[in-house]
Amino acid sequence: MSEEPTKTTPVQVWSGGEIIASKDSLVSEAAVEIIIEIAGEQKKLGILLRTPGEDTELVTGWLLGEAMIQSKSAILKIESVLDRVVVRMDPKKFDLSDFSERTFPITSSCGLCGRETLDGLIIPSRLTISDEQWVSPEVLTQLPQRLTDSQDHFKTTGGLHACALFDYEGNLITVREDVGRHNALDKLIGSRLIENELPAEKQILMLSGRIGYELIQKAALAGIPAIAGLGAPSTMAVDAARSAGLTLIGFLKSNRFNVYTGGWRII
């Protein structure tokens, strides 16, 4: 299976009443196995289906978003080779028994997949972040187009989700794409954690689609105070955002948006 983020495949196109041979670019989807290693002993944690690329970021962000780690220091070393990522954890902080294997693949459409109990539903407590007004409506309404402009692989495939971090002036900090919206966010959060750039004070997370609970959980655990999406949030997403003290914005367009929680940050 291709380890490139996109792949060209032959297709037949119906146009003008006839079938024409052509080619199309598709987003790649492949499995990656996550292995935890502590004091020389290994344990398979699970299998993620993702778009190949940035696997180290993906797994780092996933571990943080699942509340398995709280900081970069928990990881001594992380290595990615093709379809396998090995995470060496600090034996002074962890034991293999601290990690439970997800018994079936975590697909690119998963949010809470693989959890066997409701204990995995972590409603984050209120973040220790500023309540001052800094979110500009003028900046917000520019973000949908800026997100679209930053999606290189989406332009060729039309098959990827994306998320991006912008500063309070609307400048792009970083963007990640993946066939799964949750994977894209894990990659983004993982990249920021690796660079010691979390929490993300006065930064806005922009999402390319609907806003589910699990995206709020990941953002809250990463310390991202404001979240905006092109689509609608779920009821659990709104409850979680309110609990964590986040500003949550949905149906963001060039001329309007809905504020579901945290309206005090809007200028």
Task: Check whether residue 260 and residue 142 sit in a common domain.
Answer: yes
Residues of the chain with pLDDT under 70: 1-2, 103-130, 153-159
**Cα-Cα-Cα-Cα dihedral sign, residues 229, 230, 233, 238:** positive
Task: Check whether residue 73 and residue 157 sit in a common domain.
Answer: no
**Domain termination residue (choose one: 120, 154, 170):** 120
Task: Check whether residue 150 and residue 258 sit in a common domain.
Answer: yes
d(CA 207, CA 218): 13
Task: Check whether residue 154 and residue 106 sit in a common domain.
Answer: no
Domain contains 192: yes
Task: Check whether residue 57 and residue 85 sit in a common domain.
Answer: yes
Instruction: Note if 113 is an active site residue.
Output: no
Q: What is the pLDDT of residue 169?
A: 97
Which of 47, 87, 110, 163 is labelled catalytic? Answer: 110
Task: Check whether residue 142 and residue 261 sit in a common domain.
Answer: yes
Q: 113-140 burial by CB neighbour count: b if 16+ within 10 A, else e?
A: bbeeeeeeebebeebebeeeebbbeebb
Task: Check whether residue 56 and residue 145 sit in a common domain.
Answer: no
d(CA 188, CA 192): 6
**Cα-Cα-Cα-Cα dihedral sign, residues 245, 248, 54, 129:** negative
Are 147 and 162 in contact, with CB atoms under 8 Å apart?
yes
Q: Which domain holds residue 59?
A: 30-120
Please compute Rg for the chain using Cα positions.
19
Domain contains 5: no
Model-level pTM? Answer: 0.87
Which run of H or E residues covers position 217? helix 213-222
Q: What is the domain count for the chain?
A: 2
Q: What is the pLDDT of residue 1?
A: 40
| Residues 183-216 pLDDT 10s | 999 999 999 999 999 999 899 999 998 999 999 9
Question: Which CATH number goes with the domain that contains 238?
Answer: 3.40.140.10
